[in-house]
Amino acid sequence: MLHASAQIASPINPVPNLGSALAASVNRALEFFQVGVWPWFGTSDAMDHLMPWGRGTLTTRPSPPSCDMEPPNEPVSTRELPFYHLPVLMQEVLDMLQPAPGKLIFDGTLGGGGHTEALLQKGAHVVAMDQDDAALSYARERLKPYADRLCVMKGNFRDFAATLGEAGVTGLDGMLIDIGVSSHHLDAAERGFSFAKEGPLDMRMNTSAGFTAADIVNTYSQEEIERILRDNAEEPQARRIARAIVHDREKQPFTTTLQLAEMIARICPQHGKKKHPATLTFQALRCEVNQEYEALREFLKAAPQWLKPGGRLVVISFHSIEDRIVKQAFQHQSAPFIDRPEWPEARQNPDCTLRLLTRKPVEAGEIELALNPRARSARLRAAERLPQ
C-alpha cells in the first residue's frame, strides 16, 4: 500500500511527452494521485450537525463560496497525517459528480476524506457522514482548511434522510457512497477485520453499536451461520465451515481473528495462489455485523428523492453481491414501465426517477491498479435524477 508521506516527499509532475493514450492516462492517474492523497490541515474546527454556511441556505440561495483552494503554504511536515486510505476511481467520481462552486454534494462514506477533499478542492460544499469514529476524526483533521464549506456528521448512510432533514438540507446536486471498509480498517488489527492479523473478533465499523463477529460465531445456530456465509458471501464451503465453528466453540469460544482464520484454513486448505480460505467467511461476518446490504438497499431506495433534477448519484462497490444490489436498484428506478405476469399490461413505474449514466460498471484502469491494487475490485455505477 502506498504511504501518503512518501508521496509528499517526492512530488510528482505530470508527464507531457508520452505517446497519446498512455500520456493521457498517466497524467490522469497522477492528477488523481496528487488530488487524492495529499493530506494537510489548517486551524479551524469542523462542525457537527450544523451547516457551517448557515442552516439550509445553500439549497435556496447558493452562497458564493471562496473557492480558491490552493494548498496552504505550510511546511510539509505540519501537513502530514498517517496513511489512512487511498481513494479509488477518483477521476471517474469527479467526472460523474462534476463538483463546482455552489453545488452541494453528500458523501455518505467519508472514510479518510479523499473523495470529499477532491470535491471541496473543486469548490463544492460537502455534507459528509461516516459511522466510524476513527474515520471521522482523521478526516476532520485532514479537512480543516475547508471547514466553511464542509459539514461532517457521525451516522449510518441508511439514515441519511433523517439526518439531512434535521440539518435543514432540502436538495442535493450529488451523492456518493464508496462502500465497505477502508484500508485503515484492514490495517488496524484491533478492529478485527483482517484474517491476517491477530485481533479481537469484532468487525464493527460503529464501535458504539450492535453486535460483534464473536457474538455471531459463538451464539448463532449452525443453520444461521451457514445462511450468513452463503447469502452474504456465496461461500461454497458454508455448511462445512458453519459445522466446524459450532463444533469447535463447544471446547473454546472464538475470541480472535487468527483463531477463526486458522481453523478455517485447517478444514479448507488453500490450493496454489488462491485467496485465503477465510476471505469469504470474514466478508460474510463483516456484512452481517454492519448490516451492509440492508443499509445499501435503504440508501438506494431513498437517495433519488434527495437529488435535484440533474443531480447525480454515484455508488462504488467492491464485490459482486453489492454491485448486483446497486444494478438492480438503478434498473428499477430508471425503468419507465414495470410489468408482472399477473397484470394484463405493463404499468407506469412510480419509482422511475433516474436516468442511467453507466450501463456497465466502471472499473479502475491499468495505471490506477498499478498504484493501488485494492482498486482491483472497485465497480462504479452512476445515475442522474430526471427533470420533473
Q: State which of residues 39, 79, 104, 115 lies at the interface with ligand SAM (CB under 6 A).
A: 115
Is the Cβ–Cβ distance between 46 and 33 less than 8 Å? no
Q: Decide: is 179 part of the binding site for ligand SAM (CB under 6 A).
A: yes
- Name the segment binding ligand SAM (CB under 6 A); options: 154-162, 212-220, 301-309, 348-356: 154-162
Residue nearest to ligand SAM (CB): 111
* Residue pointed to by grid coordinates 471498509: 181
Exposed (0-12), middle (13-18) or buried (19+): which is 366, by Cβ within 10 Å?
exposed
Q: Which is nearer to ligand SAM, 241 or 378 (by Cβ)?
A: 378
Size of the site for ligand SAM (CB under 6 A): 23
| CA dist., res. 63 & res. 23, Å (int) | 38
Output the smallest distance, CB 239 to ligand SAM, in A: 29
Output the smallest distance, CB 307 to ligand SAM, in A: 18
Q: Decide: is 205 part of the binding site for ligand SAM (CB under 6 A).
A: yes
Q: In the chain, how many H helices and how many E strands?
A: 17, 9
- Name the segment binding ligand SAM (CB under 6 A); options: 50-58, 70-78, 125-133, 196-204: 125-133
Q: State which of residues 114, 174, 277, 311 lies at the interface with ligand SAM (CB under 6 A).
A: 114
DSSP labels, 22-51: HHHHHHHHHHHHHHHH-----SSPPBSSS-
Q: State which of residues 51, 128, 135, 186 lies at the interface with ligand SAM (CB under 6 A).
A: 135
Strand order in the sheet with 307-317: 150-154, 125-130, 104-107, 172-178, 307-317, 379-385, 354-356
CA distances from 176 to 48, 85, 91, 333 (A): 19, 16, 13, 17
Q: Which is nearer to ligand SAM, 247 or 324 (by Cβ)?
A: 324
Output the smallest distance, CB 208 to ligand SAM, in A: 13
Q: Decide: is 121 part of the binding site for ligand SAM (CB under 6 A).
A: no
| Residues of span 274-303 touching ligand SAM by CB under 6 A | 295
Q: Which is nearer to ligand SAM, 203 or 242 (by Cβ)?
A: 203
> Which phi and psi angles does 69 have, rounded to 5°?
-95, 55
Output the smallest distance, CB 203 to ligand SAM, in A: 11
Q: Which is nearer to ligand SAM, 96 or 295 (by Cβ)?
A: 295
3-state SS assignment for residue 144 = helix
Q: Which is nearer to ligand SAM, 65 or 180 (by Cβ)?
A: 180
Q: Which is nearer to ligand SAM, 112 or 123 (by Cβ)?
A: 112
Exposed (0-12), middle (13-18) or buried (19+): which is 105, by Cβ within 10 Å?
buried
Q: State which of residues 39, 65, 99, 112 lies at the interface with ligand SAM (CB under 6 A).
A: 112
Q: Which is nearer to ligand SAM, 132 or 173 (by Cβ)?
A: 132
3-state SS assignment for residue 316 = strand
Longest Cα–Cα distance in the chain? 70
- Name the segment binding ligand SAM (CB under 6 A); options: 41-49, 174-182, 219-227, 335-343: 174-182
Sequence length of the chain is 388
Q: State which of residues 92, 130, 288, 368 lies at the interface with ligand SAM (CB under 6 A).
A: 130
Q: Decide: is 109 part of the binding site for ligand SAM (CB under 6 A).
A: yes
Per-residue exposure over 23-40, b if at least 16 CB sit within 10 Å of its own CB, e if not: eebbbbbbbbbbbbbbbb
Q: Decide: is 85 part of the binding site for ligand SAM (CB under 6 A).
A: yes
CA distances from 329 to 95, 101, 203, 304 (A): 22, 30, 27, 11
Q: Decide: is 163 part of the binding site for ligand SAM (CB under 6 A).
A: no
DSSP labels, 340-388: -TTSSS-EE-TT--EEES-SS-B---HHHHHH-GGGGG-EEEEEEEPP-
Point out which residues bind ligand SAM (CB under 6 A): 85, 87, 108-109, 111-115, 129-132, 135, 156-158, 178-180, 182, 205, 295
